[in-house]
Amino acid sequence: VAYLCFYSVQLSNMLAAIIMLIFICFCVHFQNTAGQFFSSGHTNNWAVLVCTSRFWFNYRHVANTLSVYRSVKRLGIPDSHIVLMLADDMACNHRNPKPATVFSHRNMELNVYGDDVEVDYRGYEVTVENFLRVLTGRLPPSTPRSKRLLSDDRSNILIYLTGHGGNGFLKFQDSEEISNVELADAFEQMWQKRRYNELLFIIDTCQGASMYERFYSPNIMALASSQVGEDSLSHQPDLAIGVHLMDRYTFYLLEFLEDIHPASKSNMNDLFKVCPKSQCVSTPGHRTDLFLRDPGSVLITDFFGSVRKVEITMEAIHLTDPILQLEDGEEVQEKTYSYVDQLPVSEIIHQKPKQKDWHPPDGFILGLWTLILLVFFKTYGIKHLKHIF
C-alpha cells in the first residue's frame, strides 16, 4: 500500500509539473505576442529641437530644425511635448521673398514651417543657459508649461541640435558656446533626477562627433553628421531665396523620415545608414556603447513617434460627487455703471501730484548722519547735549 501511495504521489507530482509547464508555455506565448508592445519600457515621448544660429544666411539651420519638427509632429508627438527653440526668425524675415514659409527643397516644394507651428523659445531667448535649464528642469516658477520639459523616468527624449560648431563646442547665436563637457554633465543631471528613460541625441554641425565623445550617462544613443576634423556641408541653394536651404545630413534624414509612418518597424540600424559618405561628403558617426538595448531592436518610432501604451487595471475608482450649482438669488442692482472719459482734460490738469511713498533713509544717509553725530559728540562731549537740544 505504501508502495502504491508513493507511486501515486509521484504521479500527482508529475501531473502537477506537467500542468505547470503547459501554463508557463501559455504565458510565454502571450508574452511573445504582447511583448512587442511592452519591450521598450517608455510611456511618453518628448522632443527638444534647437536651432542655434542667427542671421539670414543661416536659413538652413532653421530649415533643419523645422523639418525634424515636422516629422516628429507627423509621427504623433503633440506640440505640448515638443520644446522648439529657434534662434532667429526666417519665415517672417523681411529678406524672405515668400513670407511665412521655410522651404527645405529647391523650387519651394516643401514648406516645413506649416500652418500650426508653435515655437516655444524664439529669438534672444535661445541661450545656453535656457537650454540647460530646459534640460535639467530648473526653470523660474513662472515659466509656462509649454516652455518646460516635463519628462519623467519613463520618457524617451529626442534631442536635436544644429548650428555652427567645432571640436568640442557648439556656438549659440554667435555670442556664446556650449561645450561637450557641459552637455554631458547636463545629461548626467537628467539621469540622476530620473528625467529620461532613453535619450537619442542627434547633432548636425561641423565636427559634430566631438559633442558626444564625453557622454557618460547610461541609455544615451548619439548620432552626428560628421567626425572630428570634418565639416558638415550644406545641400543646395535656392536661387529665388538666395541662401542654402538645408544641410546634407538633415536633408537625407528628412527623406528617410518621410517614409516612416507610425506603425513602421524600421529600427536604428537603418538610421545609422542614412547619408553615407557618397551623399554627405562627411562621415556620419554614431555612438551606442552607453545604450543598454541592441540598436537593432530599437524602433525609429520609439523616439520620433509617440506610441502610447495602455495599462489596464482592475481597481475600482471612486468618482467625486457631482458639483452642486447654487442658485444665485436674482438681485436687482440699483447702481448704474458707466464708461470713463478717455481724455478728461480738466481732471488731468488739476491732478494732484502723486504722493511718493515714504522710504526709510538710505544706508548712506544714515551712515553720514551717524558720522556727523559721532564727530560732534567727540568734539563737544556728551554733557553739552542738554545745551544744544
Partner 1 sequence: MHSYFWLLIGRWEATEVDEAALGDSAADKLGVRASDTFVLTPTPQPKDDFQEELVIRPLHSGDIYASFQFRTLWETDFMRENKVSHYRLFPKSLGQVISKFSVRELHISFTQGYWRTMQWGQPFLPSPPGAELWVWFQDSVTDVDAAWKELTNVLSGIFCASLNFIDSTNTVQPSASFKPLGIVNETDHRFLRYATLPREIVCTENLTPWKKLLPCGSKAGLAVLLKSEKLFHSSFFSQTVHIRPVCQDRECKTTSWELRQTLNVVFDLHTSGQGKREWSLFKMFSRTLTEACPLASSSKIYIDVTDNPQEEYFELSPATPLLSQAVVLGDRRTFSVYDLTQQVTFGTVRSLNLLIRWKSTEGDMLRPLLHAERYVAGYGLQTGEIHTVMYNNHPFRSFPVLLLDSVPWYLRLYIHTLTVTSKGKDNTPSYIHYQPSKDRMRPHLLEMLVQLPPHSVTEVTVQFERALLKWTEYTPDPNHGFYVGSSVISALVPSSVAMDTNITQEQPLFSSFFPCKEESSYFVRVYTEPLLVNLPTPDFSMPYNVICLTCTVVAVGYGSLYNLLTRSFQIEEPNPRLAKKIANFIRRIRGVPLLS
| Contact residues for partner 1, defined by CB under 8 A | 30-31, 34, 54-55, 89, 91-92, 98-101, 113-120, 122-125, 140, 142-147, 173-175, 311-314, 321-326, 332-345, 348-349, 351, 354
Beta carbons of 63 and 96 less than 8 angstroms apart? no
Q: What DSSP character marks residue 289?
A: T
- Cell readout for 240 is 529665388
Task: Report d(CA 252, CA 105) in Å as an integer.
Answer: 11
From residue 25, alpha-carbon distances to 13, 19, 31, 81 in Å are 18, 10, 10, 40
| 3 state DSSP class of 84 | strand
Cβ-count burial 124-142 (b if 16+ within 10 Å, e if not): eebbbebbbbbbbeeeeee
Strands of the sheet with 164-166, listed across from one edge: 164-166, 169-172, 176-179
Q: What DSSP character marks residue 237?
A: B
- For residue 153, give every residue at least 6 positions away whose Cβ sits within 8 Å of its Cβ, in sequence order, or none: 194, 195, 196, 197
| 3 state DSSP class of 268 | helix
Residue 146 or 189: which CB sits closer to partner 1?
Answer: 146
Closest listed residue to residue 179, CA positions, set 230, 122, 128: 128
- Residues labelled as active-site residues: 164, 206
From residue 174, alpha-carbon distances to 123, 126, 134, 156, 262 in Å are 12, 11, 20, 31, 37
- Cell readout for 331 is 438681485
The dihedral through the CA atoms of 39, 41, 45, 50 has a sign that is negative
Task: Report d(CA 217, CA 184) in Å as an integer.
Answer: 8
From residue 250, alpha-carbon distances to 75, 86, 322 in Å are 17, 16, 53
Beta carbons of 179 and 136 less than 8 angstroms apart? no
Residue 292 or 345: which CB sits closer to partner 1?
Answer: 345
